[in-house]
Chain A
Amino acid sequence: MQNNSTSVHGEKKAGWALMSVIMASSVGTLIEWYDFYIYGTLAPYIAKQFFPATNETLSYLGALGTFAAGFIVRPFGALFFGRLGDLIGRKYTFLVTLLLMGLSTFCIGLIPDYNSIGMAAPIIILLLRLLQGLALGGEYGGAATYVAEHSPDHRRGYYTGYIQTTATIGLLLSIVVILGSKSYFGDANFEAYGWRAPFIISAIMIIISVYIRMKMAESPLFSKIKHSGKLSSNPLKESFAKKENLKMVLLALFGAVAGQGVIWYTGQFYAMSFMDTVCKIEFNTVRYILAAAIIVGTPFFLVFGHLSDKIGRKWIMLAGMLLGILTYRPIYSKMLELADYKKAEATSSWELPKEVKVDAATGDSTIIAKYGKVFVNGNTYEEVKTTKILADKSKPAATPEVKTKVYLSSSNWMMMAFLVFLQIIYVTMVYGPIAAFLVELFPTRIRYTSMSLPYHIGNGIFGGLVPYIATFLVSNSKTKENPSGDLLAGLFYPMLIAGVCLVIGALFLPSRTDKKDHED
């Protein structure tokens, strides 16, 4: 009896110890995702102050910042920090990535703009953004490996599921902080200086998570192989120059992570960008819809992580890809229909008196015209047209700027949130089990390096490019007969990548749960 009670007590204690490891790792990873996303979300505000479109060189730098850090630099971070993690240990490496990310983010919030320090401003911002990308490239593999190496074999999917929630919760946190800051500062002040607040706030979160991580111990499996002298002397060479490992890296990339990456980015970022730019739904409404879908959907990372311990990782991930391929077009078609303001029948319309502002210094005047409609489906449409009339008539007249906003009725809001939620479920299916899957594919001595590279190529390149390639495909579908093009053409890219990945995965991926973690 006493033995039973001691054993239960021991199990509970081990369970708590494991949960504290998971929480300590997850908080840091979450903050890193938050840091990475706020730049992406606030890029238009940063561009105005650091990369003015009037200067071509600056436009190059701005675009380079978005591209390079988003997908080119992440795999390099994976190689650099992955190697370090396999040589000196997981704990110190992902402590460094956290500090690097935190410092870069904090500094972005402090750098004076282009008007104050000239060309130095965009160059510093670009360098800081590249450091963010490098840090992110090193973080995830370390956190996933660290948690997996603490987890029991039969529950690895469930426990690494917590790490998998961090990317989505990081996105949610960035939305909450940005909406909060916007509401606190007001639109004009937020655009002028308030956008810096989410970057500066990050410092507090980083200090807390660095403190927590410093108290953590090294991964038990890594410590064991270190003491037995089995560490790899050259993890990069061993991972990518040896055929036995390289073939697994290629399989991980083309049979799982590439498809996971496109489903992940389509379900969250493309959905957000589609609601913003194609459906023209009002800024805050889009964020609230996404936040609601994420809050309801996030527990499913754990559900599918847990399920993968029972029935295997492979078919859950492939089912998520298949569902995406089959349902993306109908889902996005319905999203367009819900927010439609071109064909919908209007019940009433309104127009405000034109507002005229004159700039005393230049003599230029600005005319602001606002008008709107209420539709049968309950949606409201608002259009603000700003026309600038220059005092100097010799200069060419500026093109009027038209901003449109659609406000959804509550039933359409709910339906839209449900459609985004469905996509989040696909995300949880492909992403929930993948950390455990990747960890099981590679031996401990080269795991950090081997799993980080395919992960960041799959997510950073195949996934990160979804919005850009989708935009390219839509603009290429424009013809004289159909000047707006096929608004759903952009979905072809994620469907194609997920399709290839599905076939490769179904044919080649091994399937097994509770694989014993090998030390060598």
Chain B
Amino acid sequence: MDIIKKASGVLWIILSGLAIWFLFTRAIHELSLPDVKPDKKIFWYSILPVYVPLMAGLALFGWYAIKGEYNKLAEEYNS
């Protein structure tokens, strides 16, 4: 189980990177269209500064998983 937890850490880091790439490319595409409505601008200008740090948090979670920080969690939690 500990090996699966560590290996999944790589997945979370890749997933966070993909999410950030997707958000930026979509935002650039949507905002470069002619006649962008105010609510769409607000949407993207709000989503990016909020979601990018969150995805960085997911990458950090993945890093902790790779380092085995969560491997002894059940014992710590139940102690």
Give the dominant DSSP class at A's interface.
helix
Contacts A72-B50, A250-B61, A251-B61; is A67 near B43 (CB within 8 Å)? yes
Give the dominant DSSP class at B's interface.
helix
Interface residues on A, range: 20 to 34
Whether a CB of chain B sits under 8 angstroms from the CB of A193 is no
Cβ A515 vs Cβ B46 within 8 A: no
Cβ A254 vs Cβ B50 within 8 A: no
Closest residue to A511 on the B side, CB-wise? B74
Cβ A60 vs Cβ B38 within 8 A: yes
Cβ A68 vs Cβ B46 within 8 A: yes
Contacts A56-B38, A504-B12; is A67 near B73 (CB within 8 Å)? no
Cβ A461 vs Cβ B73 within 8 A: no
Q: Report the Cα distance A515→B79, complex, angstroms.
A: 9
Whether a CB of chain A sits under 8 angstroms from the CB of B54 is yes
Within the complex, the shortest CB–CB distance from A338 to chain B, in Å, comes to 30
- B47-79 near A? 1/0 per residue, CB < 8 Å: 100110010011011001100011001100110
Within the complex, the shortest CB–CB distance from A391 to chain B, in Å, comes to 29
Q: Report the Cα distance A367→B62, complex, angstroms.
A: 61
Q: Report the Cα distance A63→B36, complex, angstroms.
A: 14
Cβ B58 vs Cβ A63 within 8 A: no
- B4-34 near A? 1/0 per residue, CB < 8 Å: 1100100010010000000000000000000
Closest residue to A440 on the B side, CB-wise? B77
Cβ A63 vs Cβ B38 within 8 A: yes
Q: Report the Cα distance A60→B41, complex, angstroms.
A: 9
Within the complex, the shortest CB–CB distance from B34 to chain A, in Å, comes to 16
Cβ B43 vs Cβ A472 within 8 A: yes
Question: B47: which A residues are within 8 A, CB to CB?
Answer: 465
Q: Report the Cα distance A216→B47, complex, angstroms.
A: 40
Cβ A461 vs Cβ B70 within 8 A: no
Whether a CB of chain B sits under 8 angstroms from the CB of A16 is no
Question: A67: which B residues are within 8 A, CB to CB?
Answer: 42-43, 46
Within the complex, the shortest CB–CB distance from A429 to chain B, in Å, comes to 21
Cβ B70 vs Cβ A72 within 8 A: no
Cβ A64 vs Cβ B42 within 8 A: yes
Contacts A67-B42, A472-B43; is A503 near B8 (CB within 8 Å)? yes
Question: A63: which B residues are within 8 A, CB to CB?
Answer: 38-39, 42-43
Question: B5: which A residues are within 8 A, CB to CB?
Answer: 507-508
Closest residue to A246 on the B side, CB-wise? B60
Question: B42: which A residues are within 8 A, CB to CB?
Answer: 60, 63-64, 67
**A496-511 interface (Cβ within 8 A of B):** 500, 503-504, 507-508, 510-511
Q: Report the Cα distance A432→B1, complex, angstroms.
A: 28
Q: Report the Cα distance A247→B78, complex, angstroms.
A: 17
Whether a CB of chain B sits under 8 angstroms from the CB of A71 is yes
Cβ A59 vs Cβ B39 within 8 A: yes
Question: What are 19 inter-chain pairs, A to B, with CB distance below 8 A?
Answer: A59-B38, A60-B41, A63-B42, A64-B46, A68-B46, A71-B46, A72-B46, A243-B64, A246-B60, A247-B64, A247-B70, A250-B57, A441-B77, A457-B54, A504-B8, A507-B5, A508-B73, A510-B74, A515-B77
Given contacts A247-B64, A250-B60, 10 further A-B contacts (CB under 8 A): A59-B39, A60-B42, A68-B46, A243-B69, A254-B58, A440-B77, A504-B8, A507-B1, A510-B77, A510-B78
